[in-house]
Amino acid sequence: MVVRMKHTKGKRNRVRSHHALKARTYPKCGHCGMEMLPHTVCGNCGYYNSRQVVDVLAKLDKKERKKKEKELHAHEHEAAESGKPLTAEELSHK
């Protein structure tokens, strides 16, 4: 039996060139800076689109709440510091 319409190696490879999986990118939460899934509430701080939707501290006991508040405060502090311009002294410091 004869193959009527042979697909060449080049044709086969050109078709398969688009079958590769692309690396997934995750946006960062605007409030705490943690990576999150797109179009979902941040699991770390409970914010979505710059509004608090879920109070993540409400269901935690006292010890966990204190730890979580400290962690959120640290993330906010880091985000605030990263926006400041560097002085000449900080630029020359190694």
CA dist., res. 83 & res. 80, Å (int): 6
Q: Could you report the per-residue pLDDT of 28-75, keeping only the tens digit for each?
A: 988 888 899 999 998 888 899 988 888 877 777 888 888 878 887 787
pLDDT tier at 89 (50, 70, 90 boundaries)?
confident
- Can you give the pLDDT at residue 84? 64
- Residues 17 and 24: beta-carbon distance below 8 Å: no
pTM score > 0.85 for this model?
no
User: Given a cut of 90, is residue 94 above it in pLDDT?
Assistant: no
DSSP H helices in the chain = 9-16, 62-82, 88-92
- Can you give the pLDDT at residue 33? 85
